[in-house]
């Protein structure tokens, strides 16, 4: 199939439900093929990958910041933070759990008690 034929077919199906089927059929191995549809599919995949990476980065950054906040409160209160407690806090990736620990860190008599019964 020539580039013109592939591009014409893709454009002709622009508003048709068959467009996605067509795209999947011609997307089998487009690494060597330079066409409008091949470039579009590759660009969409790259953008999806970038967006997923940005989202994961935001989530990890939020969790890291939450863990640092818990440790800061414990340290500012003068509580001893063992390596085990520090490690557990830094390994946590769940923002809701970190929020609970932060709330408990404000009044816990010892650092270990922020974990409650979790």
Judge contact between 65 and 98, C-beta under 8 A.
Answer: no
The whole-number mean pLDDT for each consecutive block of 10 residues of the chain, a chain of 118 residues, reads: 55 71 64 69 83 82 90 96 96 93 96 90
In this predicted structure, what is the pLDDT of residue 27?
Answer: 62
Helix (H) or strand (E) holding 56: helix 36-76
CA distances 13 to 19, 32, 101, Å, are 5, 23, 54
pTM attached to this predicted model: 0.56
Judge contact between 75 and 82, C-beta under 8 A.
Answer: no
In this predicted structure, what is the pLDDT of residue 33?
Answer: 59
């Amino acid at each position: 199939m020539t580039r013109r034929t592939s591009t014409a077919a893709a454009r002709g199906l622009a508003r048709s439900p068959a467009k996605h089927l067509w795209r999947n059929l011609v997307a089998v191995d487009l690494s060597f093929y330079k066409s409008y549809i091949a470039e579009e599919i590759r660009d969409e995949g790259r953008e999806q990958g970038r967006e997923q990476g940005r989202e994961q980065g935001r989530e990890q950054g939020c969790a890291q910041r939450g863990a640092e906040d818990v440790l800061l409160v414990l340290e500012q209160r003068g509580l001893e933070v063992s390596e085990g407690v520090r490690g557990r806090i830094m390994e946590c990736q769940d923002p809701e759990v970190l929020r609970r620990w932060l709330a408990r860190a404000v009044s816990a008599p010892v650092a270990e008690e922020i974990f409650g019964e979790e």
